[in-house]
Amino acid sequence: MKNDIQQILLTEEQIQARIAQLGEELSAEYAGKNPIVIGVLKGVVVFYADMIRALNVPCEMDFMCVSSYRGTQSTGKTVVKLDVSADIKGRHVLILEDIFDTGNSLSFVCQHLQAKEPASLKICTLLDKPERRNPNVTLQADYVGFTIPNAFVVGYGLDYNEKYRNLPYVGILKPEVYEK
């Protein structure tokens, strides 16, 4: 797998150090609130497992899965493949995401969850790629692990055709891998 990586963007150490910082901020934010932490599958799984262990307040775990069908138009239709199992009405909800790219899927997730009337709804994304944002998306992440350049990255949960999710770091994939 690592022969397919052009450059390691974020090492395991960098990721863990940032998660520890985020853990302190989020623990202060959610003290006494018993939040429901919702992970957006599947890319978030590795970040999720590390992030919740850096939270030193009680929380509940839940997951959602959405998928987007992108046609020739740049706007894709997003559908819910797996909905949250908890009743989030009146609860404090924290969404964890792997990457905030065009923002289309997070916007959809937020609208979907907001309709269930949580007491609060915040977003924590490991990666943010602001250069790729859909200009119609005004949503912003409340917590960002790292802002990254406009490159296709894999590892630490992120895939290319379901591969590379188990790399322990975030790396830029060699373009020849997806061009062949």
Q: How far apart are the C-alpha atoms of 25 and 110, rounded to whole Å?
A: 21
Residues marked as catalytic? 101
Pattern 62-101, Mg ion, x by CB under 5 A: ------------------------------------x---
Where on the chain is the footprint of ligand 5GP (CB under 6 A)? 43, 98-106, 152-154, 158-160
Pattern 28-57, Mg ion, x by CB under 5 A: ---------------x--------------
Q: Could you give the 3-state DSSP secondary structure of residue 77?
A: strand
What residues are paired with 65 via a beta bridge?
41, 82
The nearest distance, CB 58 to Mg ion, in angstroms, is 26
Tokens 């987007």 identify what position? 68
What residues are paired with 154 via a beta bridge?
171
| Residue 145 contacts Mg ion per CB under 5 A | no
* Phi, psi at 92, each rounded to 5°: -85, 125
* Phi, psi at 17, each rounded to 5°: -65, -40
57 contacts 92 by C-beta, under 8 angstroms: no
Q: Which does 152 bind (CB under 5 to 8 A by kind): Mg ion, ligand 5GP, none?
A: ligand 5GP
Q: Which is nearer to ligand 5GP, 33 or 133 (CB)?
A: 133
Tokens 């590379």 identify what position? 164
Q: Which is nearer to ligand 5GP, 30 or 105 (CB)?
A: 105
Nearest to 168 by CA among 3, 12, 40: 12
The nearest distance, CB 155 to ligand 5GP, in angstroms, is 8
Q: Which is nearer to ligand 5GP, 50 or 98 (CB)?
A: 98
Contact residues: Mg ion, CB under 5 A: 43, 98
